[in-house]
Structure 1
Amino acid sequence: MDTFIYEALPIRVRFGRGMVSAVGAEVAHLGATRALVLTTPQQETEGRRIGALLGSAFAGVFPGAAMHTPTDVTDAALDALKSSDATCVVALGGGSTTGLGKALALRTGVKQVCIPTTYAGSEMTPILGETKDGLKTTIRSLDVLPESVIYDVDLTLTLPPALSATSGVNAIAHAVEGLYAQDRNPVISLMAEDGIRTLADALPILVHEPHNVEARTKALYGAWLCGCVLGAVGMALHHKLCHALGGSFNLPHAETHTIVLPHAVAYNAAAAPEAMAAITRALGAPDAARGLFDLVRALGVPQALSQIGMPADGIERAADIAVEKPYWNPRPIARDAVRDLIARAYAGERPGAPAQRAA
């Protein structure tokens, strides 16, 4: 076995049904007496229910979390945090809300309790992506790692089927890139393969039976595994490209990851044979990239960037952004090849088909 380094992250997890009732205990465990609840505008009502569970520790709700963590939203949340005298934030929701909590922690040192309601996985990572003036930048620092995460299966029962699908494939993307990460290790590779397998089994059930508790439990467990992978090792082309696309064209995060993933895997396939073997085992498919493409198709969600708002004239710009700063990837980053990858994803072509030139 090759030598490796494995470093466990200092994070506390509660997992199961009804676990959200322990939110007050988690805030107290962190030594906080006042907590500001963070949500998106759509989840403000649910945030106030969390506030009721906090009792005297409830310091209010900031319901302005937004996709890609815009810095102007963070500035508004900072004002709310200061006026509430809170020393802890409770982030309820998906990656948007978790990202806002991380942005506040980076600036103030405030403690974080995350309550995920999607499969995004960012709650398990020391990674923060922020957007300013149309450019998304990413940092990795223990300063943004949440102290506590509550996984409550019941909170995912109302997650719409389409969002369950794209959020779940977004989680799979973390595990896929973890399998060929430069700093991968045997522990993380085990978690990655099991995370892919568990989500690939659960998601097709959830799009038809969204209230299936067994499938919801599997999906949330798989998302936790994939989030652990994302937090432990570095990512590569897929994540870099999705951040460029999302930040530059304001594309929905999970949908972008879902569409790009099979094409990024096809790009790296020849350079990462062990990773491809693990992905095919997890999917029960003969080919990693096409197996992922077929999974997405079976879930009935968009498979083309053109379907989610990307302009055709953005292909060249996205290719330029993706190669402007050097970063590690198992296959060298070549501008023309990346451009063709984006063109395939834009058109929704099956991996391996000749790339079409968009008008």
Structure 2
Amino acid sequence: MSWKHVTLGQRVRFGTGLASQNLADEVERLGAQRVMLIAEETAPDVTSKIQVAIRCTDVAPHVPVENAARAREQAADADLLVSVGGGSTTGLAKAVALTSGLPIIAVPTTYAGSEATNVWGLTEAASKTTGSDDRVLPVTVIYDAALTASLPDELAIASGCNALAHCVDSMWAPRADPINQALAVEGIRALGSGLRKISSLEGREQTLYGAYLAAVAFASAGSGLHHKICHVLGGAYNLPHAQTHTAILPYVLAFNAPAAPQAARITEALGTSLISLYDEIGASHVLHGVPDVREAARLILPSVPPSNPRQVTEDDLTALLAAASAGENPSEWSRA
């Protein structure tokens, strides 16, 4: 074997009902005096044991550059960022850290996984730009399954399937290696188990654990075909992040599986096919909000990784998006 693996350095504190205390301990460890809290108004309050100097609620999907600029101005006197929320909230904190170098403590309330990666994204004029920079990697992640309890099951399932997409992409992304593939397989196993009982605390804990493994694998492996498709669609058409990833995933897997031996490991870890899991948990594989699939395919094609298991053409992408928009059975669909 010959490969190169990079592991990102980060503290993780996992404990149900412990978010407030774990956050206070981390703020004290870092010696922060002026904390900027980034969270939507409806986010759970985990700040009862710390002092918050600045509050930013200017959170929006895909992190518009205008929102990032305003948050950066607010952060001028801060020495620590604390984000409490889903991927959009973490993404805004990353946008601030990208230019300020301020450390982030991330407290996720969904299964987005952004908190465990050094990937940032900004949207301007219907175009989403992404990149990697170690400055945006949160120094600490605080996981508490109790904070996900308010997520409706439908949204929790979509968020968990978004985490599954991190695992699937990590099996053949540009920097895939045996270590991040192993993390991805364990993440798939945990996510499959957790999503089947998402209404219970045990299910939410398993899903949160799986989402972390998925994000760590993805941070190492990089963005594969699935994420390139979804990033372009999200920026171009302002589509909901988790639901779009959930809809696209079965079609990308169906497309790549004939040329990817790793696909068998995905099915084995789930204990069934992906689409059977979707049927079991009530996940939707119908893509909404793409008015012109041919136009979308043209936008996506330049971003397709050369390392994808199968060569991808504009016609392939058009057919994939058309099938997803029509909600065709992914197990019967593939441009063989």
For the aligned pair, the TM-score class normalised by the smaller chain equals over 0.9
How far apart are residue 97 of structure 1 and its match?
A: 0.4
Alignment-derived partner of residue 297 in structure 2? 319
CA contact (8 A) 2:250 2:285 kept: no
Inter-partner Cα distance in structure 2 for 1:298 and 1:314: 31
Amino acid at match of 1:342: L
Q: Which moved more, 1:26-35 or 1:136-145?
A: 26-35
CA contact (8 A) 2:112 2:159 kept: yes
Does the C-alpha gap of structure 1 residues 18 and 196 become closer, same or farther in structure 2, counting only changes over 3 Å?
same
Amino acid at match of 2:27: V
Q: Which moved more, 1:297-306 or 1:335-344?
A: 297-306
Inter-partner Cα distance in structure 2 for 1:156 and 1:73: 25
CA contact (8 A) 2:63 2:88 kept: yes
TM-score (norm: length of structure 2)? 0.94
Secondary structure of 1:51's partner? coil
Alignment-derived partner of residue 40 in structure 1? 40
Q: Across the two proteins, how many residue pairs are aligned to each other?
A: 332
CA contact (8 A) 2:59 2:89 kept: yes
1:351 to 312, 330, 334: 330
Alignment-derived partner of residue 211 in structure 2? 223
Secondary structure of 1:90's partner? strand
Alignment-derived partner of residue 319 in structure 2? 340
CA contact (8 A) 2:39 2:85 kept: yes
Inter-partner Cα distance in structure 2 for 1:283 and 1:109: 39
Runs (5+) with no aligned partner, structure 1: 286-290
2:181 aligned with 1:185:
no
Q: Which moved more, 1:136-145 or 1:291-300?
A: 291-300
2:115 aligned with 1:123:
yes
Give aligned-pair identity as a percent. Answer: 39
Pairwise CA RMSD: 1.5
Inter-partner Cα distance in structure 2 for 1:39 and 1:354: 40
CA contact (8 A) 1:119 1:168 kept: yes
Inter-partner Cα distance in structure 2 for 1:173 and 1:336: 23
Alignment-derived partner of residue 10 in structure 2? 11
How far apart are residue 106 of structure 1 and its match?
A: 0.3
2:228 aligned with 1:232:
no
- Which structure has more helix as a fraction of its residues? 1
CA contact (8 A) 1:182 1:234 kept: yes
How far apart are residue 62 of structure 1 and its match?
A: 0.8
CA contact (8 A) 1:124 1:146 kept: yes
Note the alpha carbon deviations across 1:134-161, whole angstroms, 9 max, x for none: 1011101112111110011221222210
Runs (5+) with no aligned partner, structure 2: none
Alignment-derived partner of residue 279 in structure 2? 297
CA contact (8 A) 1:178 1:189 kept: yes
CA contact (8 A) 1:74 1:103 kept: yes
CA contact (8 A) 2:107 2:143 kept: yes
Alignment-derived partner of residue 65 in structure 2? 71
Q: Which moved more, 1:96-105 or 1:230-239?
A: 230-239
Secondary structure of 2:55's partner? strand
Secondary structure of 2:53's partner? strand
Displaced runs of 4+ in structure 1, greater than 3 A? 352-355
Note the alpha carbon deviations across 1:34-61, whole angstroms, 9 max, x for none: 1111112432xx3xx3333213xx1132
TM-score (norm: length of structure 1)? 0.89
How far apart are residue 330 of structure 1 and its match?
A: 1.8
